[in-house]
């Protein structure tokens, strides 16, 4: 049994209420919440055969609350949008109401922000998320249908970290270096047993950078990362120089542990489970347990590194890193005075000429940084500063 899609008039009303609620504040804090369109008569039309313990559930309010700006501003404070959502639907009188709350949304948020490798099924037919002042996003599952941010409509993502283009090409050398180091540690024989390890390692590197950017964005302060091809400081003034190399080292060890764990599991499956052997060497089982524990510990280490690096953006200035993701300092200032001759708004990750929006003159070099945030649009910059990518993340 499938739930019916909401009428266009219902969608228009939900979006209108969400937009005007986003312009309000409650107890001096912005309104941040997620509205999920869920049929109150049939909130779970297609449950899976096996219900996992941490699956979401809908809790009904004793009396449905009419969906209007005033009520949404008030009730939104009761549900942390990172861990829950509000269920909305038309009642029997065709009025839109907030009829309940949805729990266990933390796993969804963790997957969206790359803190987890998998995410749960999405509740309802669509989700309307208030993410900031004048910022409303509409999702179906994990797919962005459209977003309104400060008066601009956006559709879909420009994923310039995973899709091939000028930014990905600049970062490719650091990714290849990590792949070669991991392959040397695990050995060619183990590495070549599966043909996806290069892509998997590349994904881990990209996810680490994306998680830093998303972490910077969550602070709402604005921030920028400068990834340099070397450790020279030409044209830079770094107020707080440091040397923090832990993230790159942790990524290397995590990839090694992942491959070794997979190889051990494959050996157990192929040599003992498929043939239904009654006995298995204790040391083989011990190897799996040890490597699994090391992988989990290193995953937690990466999370700590990512959050530490993102927190440095709370100080005004650049976070200066090299392409191995080692932090060289923060509070950086670009001292080059020559501005880019032109700035072009790209329409795709490749910066295709036919999709360039047009030259925007008079922008400062700061504005001309290439934006690689997943919730932003990349800029193609013309200047004479070489090939160092500028990674800029504006406040949400």
**Mind listing the pLDDT tens digit for each residue in 149-202?**
777 777 766 677 777 788 888 889 999 999 999 999 999 999 999 999 999 999
Residue 234 falls inside a structural domain = yes
Residue 280 sits in the same domain as residue 302: yes
Question: Stretch 328-352: mean pLDDT, rounded?
Answer: 78
Residue 91 sits in the same domain as residue 229: no
* pLDDT confidence bin for 354, thresholds 50/70/90: low
Higher pLDDT pick, 107 / 75? 75
> Average per-residue pLDDT in the chain?
82
- pLDDT surpasses 60 at 369: no
Contact 139, 127 (CB under 8 A): yes
The residue range of the domain holding 377 is 166-393
Higher pLDDT pick, 195 / 374? 195
Contact 369, 381 (CB under 8 A): yes
Residue 170 sits in the same domain as residue 149: no
Q: Which two tokens stand for residue 41?
A: 């008569």
Phi (first) and psi of residue 353, to 5 degrees: -60, -40
Residue 138, strand partner residues: 128, 146
Q: What is the pLDDT of residue 361?
A: 38
Cα torsion 169, 210, 241, 176: sign? negative
Q: What is the pTM of this model?
A: 0.73
Own/partner long-range contacts of 264-272 (Cβ < 8 Å, ≥24 apart): 264/288, 264/291, 266/193
- pLDDT surpasses 70 at 15: yes
Helical H segments across the chain, by residue range: 8-22, 69-76, 106-112, 166-186, 188-191, 197-219, 246-268, 282-311
Which DSSP state fits 371?
A: P
**Can you tell me the distance from the alpha carbon of 11 to that of 5, in angstroms, rounded to the nearest whole number?**
10
How many domains is the chain partitioned into structurally? 2
Residue 1 falls inside a structural domain = no
136-140, 215-219, 272-276, 347-351, range with the lowest pLDDT: 347-351
Question: Stretch 284-289: mean pLDDT, rounded?
Answer: 89
Residue 143 sits in the same domain as residue 15: yes
Q: What is the pLDDT of residue 2?
A: 57
- pLDDT surpasses 90 at 44: no
The residue from 109, 126, 154 where one domain ends is 154
CATH code, domain carrying 106: 3.40.1700
Q: What is the pLDDT of residue 259?
A: 96
Residue 315 falls inside a structural domain = yes
Residue 17 sits in the same domain as residue 150: yes
């Amino acid at each position: 049994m499938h739930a019916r899609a909401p009428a266009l008039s219902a969608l228009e009303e939900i979006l209108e209420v969400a937009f005007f609620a986003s312009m309000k504040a409650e107890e001096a804090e912005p309104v941040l919440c997620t509205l999920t369109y869920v049929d109150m008569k049939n909130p779970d039309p297609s449950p899976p055969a096996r219900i996992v313990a941490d699956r979401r559930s809908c809790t009904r309010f004793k009396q449905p609350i009419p969906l209007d700006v005033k009520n949404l501003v008030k009730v939104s404070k009761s549900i942390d949008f990172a861990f829950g959502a509000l269920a909305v639907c038309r009642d029997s009188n065709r009025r839109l109401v907030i009829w309940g709350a949805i729990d266990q949304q933390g796993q969804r948020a963790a997957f969206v922000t790359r803190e987890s490798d998998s995410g749960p099924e999405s509740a309802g037919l669509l989700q309307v998320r208030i993410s900031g002042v004048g910022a409303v996003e509409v999702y179906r599952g994990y797919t962005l249908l459209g977003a309104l941010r400060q008066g601009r409509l956006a559709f879909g993502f420009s994923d310039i970290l995973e899709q091939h283009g000028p930014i990905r090409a600049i970062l490719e050398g650091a990714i290849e270096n990590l792949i070669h180091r991991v392959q040397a540690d695990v050995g060619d024989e183990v590495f070549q047993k599966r043909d996806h390890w290069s892509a998997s390692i590349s994904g881990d590197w990209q996810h680490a950078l994306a998680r830093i950017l998303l972490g910077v964005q969550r602070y709402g302060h604005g921030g920028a990362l400068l990834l340099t091809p070397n450790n020279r400081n030409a044209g830079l003034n770094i107020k707080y120089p440091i040397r923090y190399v832990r993230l790159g080292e942790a990524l290397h060890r995590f990839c090694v542990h992942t491959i070794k764990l997979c190889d051990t599991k494959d050996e157990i499956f192929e040599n003992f489970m498929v043939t239904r052997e009654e006995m298995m060497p204790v040391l083989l089982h011990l190897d799996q347990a040890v490597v699994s524990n090391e992988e989990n510990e290193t995953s937690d280490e990466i999370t700590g590194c990512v959050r530490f690096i993102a927190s440095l953006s709370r100080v005004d200035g650049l976070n200066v890193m090299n392409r191995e993701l080692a932090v060289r300092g923060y509070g950086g200032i670009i001292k080059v005075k020559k501005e880019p001759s032109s700035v072009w708004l790209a329409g795709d990750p490749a910066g295709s000429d036919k999709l360039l929006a047009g030259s925007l003159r008079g922008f400062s070099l700061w504005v001309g940084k290439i934006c690689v945030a997943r919730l932003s649009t990349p800029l193609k910059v013309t200047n004479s500063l070489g090939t160092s990518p500028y990674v800029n993340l504006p406040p949400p």
